[in-house]
Amino acid sequence: MKGKQIAIIVAVLVIVGYLYLQPVKGLIKPKEGHDNGMVAGSKPAPATISADMVSATAKTAIGENLSAKITDLESQLKQAAGDKQKEDLQRQLAKQWDDVNQPAPAAFYYLDLARKQHGFNDWLNAGTRFNDAYRLSQDSSLQSAFVLSAVEALQNATKLNPDNLDAKAGLGVAYVNGGAPSPMQGISLLLEVVAKDPNNRSANLNLGLFAMKSGQYEKAVVRFKTLIAQKPEIEPYFYLAESYKQLGQKQQAIDAYQKCKELMPDPTFGKRIDDFIKELKN
């Protein structure tokens, strides 16, 4: 199996673990008319982290073979002479980390490029990956730093292109995760996005996740089914199965889990899914 497939499996399991094993603090159900849950909380304190720090952790996750080329590029970057060479190597490193589905180190390289060149795509790429890194992490210090960097990047992206829905959705996610005084600022942005584009993937996925975290599983189901209707993918199917399970709709949960197996025919992952299905049948 390819390295990226392995990383996707790990990502799904880590995200699910974050949702269900972490203590849930400050969740509230919004009033009628706000159709998703939100996470209440104050703006996080900054943490001092670097690309090197998160790169070391990511290399452990992907293994020596997949990290060999990245290590070589990092060595070249340290010896690079001139801004142009450094920026070329940073862009290569960002792509390499993207290829193995490790958003945290990629985010730092995109952020550095964005701060130098002030390009919309680099700001958007940085913010999107910091949001993804937040979801994959269970370290509160790292999460705080990821949120603050996501807000910086996506605020700059929306300033450059106010009509871009991906940037607006990403900023909404960062706000809900703690990057704004009120999480409702983020929910409002996400709802603006789906009002303009009902099928927007990022907005629907994150509204679904926030609904799950506040126990609003019926609304989460609607979001994930919207995504699946566009493109069957393992992540929304997994969350759909989890939502159905929480609602006590066992057969629907089993059917969604089976779809996960079809989309990711890996023995280890399949065994995990079989365990979930067995639990529902008992």
Domain co-membership, 109 together with 140: yes
pLDDT in tens, 160-210: 999 999 999 999 999 999 998 888 899 999 999 999 999 999 999 999 988
Domain co-membership, 220 together with 208: no
Domain co-membership, 183 together with 232: no
Domain co-membership, 232 together with 208: no
How many Å apart are CA 50 and CA 111, to the nearest integer?
Answer: 11
Q: How many domains does the chain have?
A: 2
pLDDT at 6: 41
Residue 36 in 3-state DSSP? coil
Domain co-membership, 199 together with 225: no
CA distances from 55 to 96, 107, 257 (A): 11, 11, 33
The structure's pTM equals 0.79
Of 185, 212, 239, the residue that ends a domain is 212
CA distances from 100 to 2, 53, 66, 89, 149 (A): 9, 17, 8, 17, 21
**How many other CB atoms are there within 10 angstroms of residue 272's CB atom?**
16
Give the CATH number of the domain where residue 255 resides: 1.25.40.10
pLDDT at 86: 95
Domain co-membership, 141 together with 268: no
Range of the domain at 250: 216-282
- Contact (Cβ atoms closer than 8 angstroms) between residue 11 and residue 19: no
How many Å apart are CA 203 and CA 197, to the nearest integer?
Answer: 9
Walk along the chain (282 residues) in steps of 10 and give the mean pLDDT of each run. 45 47 36 36 53 89 90 94 94 94 94 96 97 88 93 97 96 93 90 96 92 92 96 91 94 94 80 88 86
Domain co-membership, 206 together with 231: no
- How would you classify the pairing of strands 38-39 and 27-28? antiparallel
Domain co-membership, 172 together with 267: no
Tokens 């603090």 -> residue: 25
What DSSP designation does 81 have? -
Q: What angle do CA 193, 187, 228 make, to 5 degrees?
A: 55
